Amino acid sequence: MFTCLNKIQPYFVCLSDGLLNPLYNYICSTYLSIMIYITRREHFNAAHKLHNPAWSEEKNNEVFGKCANPNWHGHNYNLFVTVKGPVNAETGYSANLKDISTIIRTHITEKLDHKNLNMDVDFLKGMMPSTENVAIAIWKQLTPHIDALGIKLHSVKLYETENNYVEYLGEE
């Protein structure tokens, strides 16, 4: 804020406070394009197994351990979606988190929750449902819907357990 004010103050020293404030807000948020990052968490439960059909059972067990169990296992996934955009001078928002939540629920969690990630999900078909691959697939699903809000997807962070998560920031 202070840095921004220093940049624009010379141009508005002659304006009254009443006029200066809206102009200040407009220029800080729009012209100087201050970007802010906001995050929404959503949750889903799902089953999967990690299994490479080209490998022997021994090799699958050696590489994937318990995750290779042929009769599946489940995780309580936590998904953190971060978007970035300028702060709108009228609302003080960069995006309405209700809109972000609706997009995530409609396009991701309703399709994944209580499902088998190896078998039930159209956008994961033919894919090893590791946390890495699921996070990348979620990014691809969300991108057009976040773009439509006039903001950008910054990161998809997917927690498979309390201690293990992956984060995808898109292609560099």
Q: Are 70 and 76 in contact (CB under 8 A)?
A: no
b/e code 18-43 from CB counts within 10 Å (16+ = b)? eebeeebbebbbeeeebeeebebebe
107 catalytic? Reply is no
The catalytic residue among 62, 110, 114, 167 is 114
The catalytic residue among 62, 67, 90, 154 is 67
7 or 114, CB closer to Ni ion?
Answer: 114
Residue number closest to Ni ion, CB atom: 67
Give CA–CA dist 63/68, Å, rounded: 8
- Site map (CB under 5 A) of Ni ion, residues 35-74, x = contact: --------------------------------x-------
User: Tokens standing for 36?
Assistant: 């802010």
75 catalytic? Reply is no
28 catalytic? Reply is no
The least distance separating Ni ion from the CB of residue 79, rounded to whole angstroms, comes to 15
Three-class SS state of 5: helix
Give CA–CA dist 24/52, Å, rounded: 58
The least distance separating Ni ion from the CB of residue 65, rounded to whole angstroms, comes to 9
Q: Catalytic amino acids?
A: 67, 114, 160
Which chain residues interact with Ni ion by CB under 5 A? 67
